[in-house]
Amino acid sequence: MKNPDGKIVSSLILVVLILLIAGCKKRTIDRPNVVFILVDQWRGSATGYAGDPNVKTPNLDLFSEEAVTFKNAVSVCPVCTPYRASILTGRYPTSTGMFLNDAYLPEEELCLAEVFKENGYNTGYIGKWHLDGQGRFDFTPPDRRQGFDYWKALECSHDYNNMAYYEGDSPEVKYWEGYSPFAISDDAQVYITTEATSDSPFFLFVSLATPHFPHASAPQEFKDLYPESDILVAPNVPIELHQKVKEELVGYYAHCSATDKAIGSILQKIEELDLLKKTIIVFTSDHGEIMGAHGVRIKQKQVPWIESAGVPLIIHYPSSKGIESRMVEMPVTTPDISASLLAMAGLEIPESFEGENFIQVIKGGKYHPDHGSLYMSVSSFANVKKEFKKEYRALKTAKYTYVKGIDGAWLLYDDIEDPYQMNNLVSNPEFADLQTALEKQLRSELDKIGDDFRPAASYLSEWGYSVTKSGHIPYKPHNQEPQSPKR
């Protein structure tokens, strides 16, 4: 016997399914796009908006006027691979074992792109990767890309005028045309233009390798902006290093200005496509550049001073309520950015992510004036003097930097009164109470991630790293820059 209501019931079910699918699709479309722009070795002070008297960064300066700028952002571990692992996993180096350069980020780690993909995003990565641990010029297969689908990347190269990359699933080596930041910027604009017509939002990670040395390879037209005689050297650089620092700063600042142009082109394309109101944009760096400060060799990072650990951070967050552009004093560290990025996109933050969500601060909310952010060096492989080559844990507040070495308190600075960190207050009896309070605060931050701050050898053993007499992982030489393959 036929059911006279069968067709009606079937029709109702079909209508409900269509509405559900449409609703899901609409929610996906309504989520913001994300463009994450990462540069390499760009110190936090090296922009016009941050007050550098030398550098010219007109595009970033304008961007900072239209977004939220964090004055006291620090790199959780101021060196390339550890930072990149931390920004993708939202975790600290002691939690992942990713505290050395050229280490492999295991596929088991849950990463940002995987979270975005699970929530309907298209994902893309363009530029320097430095997380595969096989070889700086080796092909990274798709199953080791941590959730990124569109792929034009290379593990690591700083040969800016002859930079190799791999595209998609092909192991064929290709080369960016001309100066790589410009070529990568052009490709990012093509990706954004294509995705602008998609029904799904996108998460694009643009990884530019500048202004990391070699500095002399910057385009001549940008080096011409910086006559050596006009460059002002910071007061914490010893006089005997001044000439060499000036020579390096010509190329360093030239890379900054050229990269600023490349970034400006991406920002302009987003605006041209009318995507600003539905796109989160993040600009930051993996770490800074010491550039001779405190007598540490030029081209160095890893050390705890602000020139090395401090990074720029600008966030454009579209909101129906409107977000006022401003400078935020509250310090943030790398895992905080990861957690907050997901929150800004309206996504659930996975339990594995260890950073603090500061979305309310972006929206204009208040924060505790003594808030501190954690950063560290777990096992230094830096080619520096012994007194600088220390494992450390550090706490950055809006006013102070406190650094503890394995043997006890090492550095304490009032960063407002002493922005170049030239007056170490450790063991100064007038600041004993402050030092005690900061030590307690640092210990609290370490307890949150289960880090009991042991000697470097203990962590190397825990994570199974075999170390040579030079202090490097045997399969990755850190004491020299490998040569790029030639066309």
Look-up of token digits 């070699």:
214
- Quick one: 202 exposed, middle or buried, by C-beta within 10 A (0-12, 13-18, 19+)? buried
Helix, strand, coil shares of the chain as percentages rounded to 5?
35, 15, 50
Q: In residues, how long is the chain?
A: 487
Q: How far apart are CA 114 and CA 248, in angstroms?
A: 39
**Which candidate, 108, 100, 64, places its Cα nearest to that of 83?**
100
In contact, 233 and 418? CB cutoff 8 Å? no
What is the SS3 assignment for 466-487?
Answer: CCCCCCCCCCCCCCCCCCCCCC
In contact, 103 and 97? CB cutoff 8 Å? yes
Q: How far apart are CA 255 and CA 214, in angstroms?
A: 10
Concatenating the DSSP letter of every residue in 152-176 gives EEES----TTS-EEEETT----EE-
CA dihedral (151, 155, 160, 166) positive or negative: negative
**Which candidate, 160, 142, 162, places its Cα nearest to that of 151?**
142
Determine phi and psi for 147, rounding to 5 degrees.
Answer: 100, 0
Rg (CA), the chain: 23
In contact, 288 and 78? CB cutoff 8 Å? yes
Longest CA pairwise span in the chain (Å):
100
In contact, 482 and 137? CB cutoff 8 Å? yes
Give the residue numbers marked as catalytic.
80, 130
Number of CB atoms found within 10 A of residue 413's CB: 24
Look-up of token digits 């010029």:
137
As beta bridge partners, residue 151 has: 125
